[in-house]
Protein backbone atom coordinates (compact mmCIF):
# COMPACT_ATOMS: atom_id res chain seq x y z
CA UNK A 1 0.00 0.00 0.00
CA UNK A 2 1.38 3.43 -0.90
CA UNK A 3 1.94 6.18 1.68
CA UNK A 4 -0.96 8.31 0.41
CA UNK A 5 -3.44 5.45 0.65
CA UNK A 6 -2.07 4.45 4.06
CA UNK A 7 -2.48 8.00 5.44
CA UNK A 8 -5.99 8.31 3.95
CA UNK A 9 -7.03 5.04 5.58
CA UNK A 10 -5.63 6.10 8.96
CA UNK A 11 -7.33 9.53 8.72
CA UNK A 12 -10.64 7.80 8.01
CA UNK A 13 -10.16 5.69 11.15
CA UNK A 14 -9.24 8.80 13.18
CA UNK A 15 -12.31 10.60 11.86
CA UNK A 16 -14.55 7.91 13.33
CA UNK A 17 -12.59 7.98 16.59
CA UNK A 18 -12.76 11.78 16.85
CA UNK A 19 -16.45 11.91 15.89
CA UNK A 20 -15.79 14.54 13.23
CA UNK A 21 -17.15 14.95 9.71
CA UNK A 22 -13.75 15.28 8.06
CA UNK A 23 -10.23 14.58 9.30
CA UNK A 24 -7.30 15.78 7.24
CA UNK A 25 -3.54 16.08 7.38
CA UNK A 26 -1.48 19.26 7.64
CA UNK A 27 -0.46 18.84 3.98
CA UNK A 28 -4.09 18.95 2.88
CA UNK A 29 -4.91 21.81 5.28
CA UNK A 30 -2.20 23.93 3.68
CA UNK A 31 -3.88 23.47 0.29
CA UNK A 32 -7.36 24.46 1.52
CA UNK A 33 -8.87 27.83 0.65
CA UNK A 34 -8.73 30.39 3.47
CA UNK A 35 -12.52 30.24 3.95
CA UNK A 36 -12.26 26.57 4.92
CA UNK A 37 -9.06 26.85 6.98
CA UNK A 38 -10.85 29.10 9.49
CA UNK A 39 -13.42 26.34 10.15
CA UNK A 40 -10.82 23.64 10.79
CA UNK A 41 -9.67 22.75 14.27
CA UNK A 42 -6.32 21.25 15.19
CA UNK A 43 -6.91 17.88 16.82
CA UNK A 44 -3.71 16.04 17.50
CA UNK A 45 -0.21 15.03 16.51
CA UNK A 46 -0.33 11.28 15.92
CA UNK A 47 1.76 8.38 14.84
CA UNK A 48 0.45 6.51 11.84
CA UNK A 49 0.91 2.77 11.50
CA UNK A 50 3.40 2.07 8.71
CA UNK A 51 4.94 5.56 8.86
CA UNK A 52 7.84 7.04 10.85
CA UNK A 53 6.78 10.71 10.63
CA UNK A 54 4.16 12.12 13.01
CA UNK A 55 0.96 13.32 11.37
CA UNK A 56 -0.65 16.63 12.38
CA UNK A 57 -4.42 16.05 12.25
CA UNK A 58 -7.06 18.73 11.67
CA UNK A 59 -10.83 18.23 11.52
CA UNK A 60 -14.04 19.84 10.43
DSSP string covering 16-58: HHHT-S-EEEHHHHHHS-HHHHTT-EEEEEE--TT-SS-EEEE
In the chain, the percentage of residues whose pLDDT exceeds 90 is 67
Q: What is the mean pLDDT of the chain?
A: 91
Average pLDDT over residues 7-34: 92
The pTM of this model reads 0.82
pLDDT digits (tens, 9 = 90+) for 33-60: 988 899 999 999 999 888 889 999 999 8
Q: Give the pLDDT of residue 10.
A: 93
Report yes or no: 16 and 48 within 8 Å, Cβ to Cβ. Answer: no
Q: Give the pLDDT of residue 43.
A: 93
Amino acid sequence: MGDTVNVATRLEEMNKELGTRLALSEDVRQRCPNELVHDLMYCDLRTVRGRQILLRVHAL
